[in-house]
Amino acid sequence: MEDFIKLAKKVLLGNKKKGYTLPTNNKLYPAQWNWDSGFIALGYSHFKFKYALDEIKTLIRGQWKDGMIPHILFHDLNTNYYPNHSVWACGNKIHSSGITQPPVLAIILKRILDKKRINNKDKAEFKKIVKGILKYHKWFIKFRDPNNSGLVSILHPWESGYDNSPLWDDPMSKVKVPKNLKYKRGDNKVVNPEYRPLDIDYDRYVTIKNHLRKNNYNPKKLYKASLFNVVDVGFNSIFIRANKDLLKLLNAFNLQSTELESYISRSENKIVKLYNQKKNVFFNIDLKNKKKINIPSITHYFILFADLKDKVLNNKIIKNLKKHSSKEKYLLSSVKPNHQKFEEKRYWRGPVWINCNWIIYQGLKNKNIKLAKQIKRKTINLVKQKGFNEYFSCKTGKGFGATNFSWTAALFLDLILENKND
């Protein structure tokens, strides 16, 4: 096992830049990604605490004045990546995209601080970080849930983190692509096009992005004006967990937020209403087109990560998860293989993702330890057998997408080193 731990560390250090880490060592993702950095920081925390802190600090430095932390920070402007900093045209202290990503930072920071005793000097640094995260969460509540319902929206599929999921097919189909749309994507030149989104999907991504830019990324205006507005179960599950962990961090640093406390309660009450008892599934809500989205995505199991008090619902989700996992050699497919939308090799439409397994494992640990250990063991074995790939086939275990992928290495380390007695 020590050899694999060394390899995982080598992957992270091989992708490291000054103050941040690339998702991979090729041209596919030549920048800093929001939730990637969170997972990467967790990996570093097991062997190089300074690098973990640097990763988080750099991410916070890219925070906008209104509180948003972008999904991409462009530290190197000399790349052929599309869409690059000039395409986004966000004139901030660090060039960035104009959208965000799943807010895992509070979750990661709490996990790190639970295991690391910090000195007084570091306490001041971390207190500053916690204040930045609080500002970020308040941005979500203010601008992505202006009606104070308890559930936040995403305004672009890229914000979900699982960009090409079938969850977005229906709302994306309503996006009208201009005839004169011009751009030059490069992702399908770096890796096999079979692994990447289709051209029509990318056309719609770019159309939504262009619309956001046209509206100057105004968060107040875009909640109603965006071409895409979806309440996603997985994203909101992460946000609920993040709010709970942030509240604990605030208490640890003698900070308070009554707003956060009340919002958590409202979120928990609201998200359970997205569950359909008859069909035994969660629905996403397409607010733009006033429709329910019924696609059985792996991300619906993220509800376990939210740590809801509803034991009956949790048990139903665990029952579904057991069925899902019992039919697969390599856990867990992002879309069930028997579903019409399933594609074995294509980005988020079927492959196994280590970060999803990690999220689900964390949600299971205090609810069904046997199943949690099973997912953990099979995830570790998959990476040991097939390597540090971006994603994997649920049928053969074959790796797809980028190689030497940072969050795969980081979360592999966390799964192995979090508790050697597991």
What one-character DSSP code corresponds to residue 19?
S
The span from the CA of 307 to the CA of 184, in Å, is: 42
Question: For residue 192, which of 399, 349, 36 has the smallest C-alpha distance?
Answer: 399
Contact residues for 324 (Cβ-Cβ < 8 A; gap 6+): 301, 332, 333, 336
In the three-class reduction of DSSP (H, G, I as helix; E, B as strand; rest coil), residue 96 is classed as strand
Alpha-carbon distance of 288 to 174, in angstroms, equals 9
Range list of H helices, 197-352: 199-214, 219-225, 233-252, 258-271, 311-326
Is 163 an active-site residue? yes
Active-site choice (54, 203, 390, 414): 390
Strand residue runs (E) in 189-342: 230-231, 275-276, 281-282, 284-286, 291-293
Q: Which of 163, 170, 259, 307 is catalytic?
A: 163
Run of H or E including 119: none
Q: How far apart are CA 100 and CA 103, in angstroms?
A: 8
Helix (H/G/I), strand (E/B), else coil: 286:
strand
Q: Is there a catalytic annotation at residue 422?
A: no
Instruction: Extract the tokens encoding 322.
Output: 């057991």
What is the rounded distance in angstroms from the CA atom of residue 135 to the CA atom of residue 26? Answer: 33
The H or E element containing residue 392 is strand 391-392
Q: Is residue 295 within 8 Å of 274, Cβ to Cβ? A: no
Structure tokens, 121: 């000097």
* Active-site residue list: 163, 390
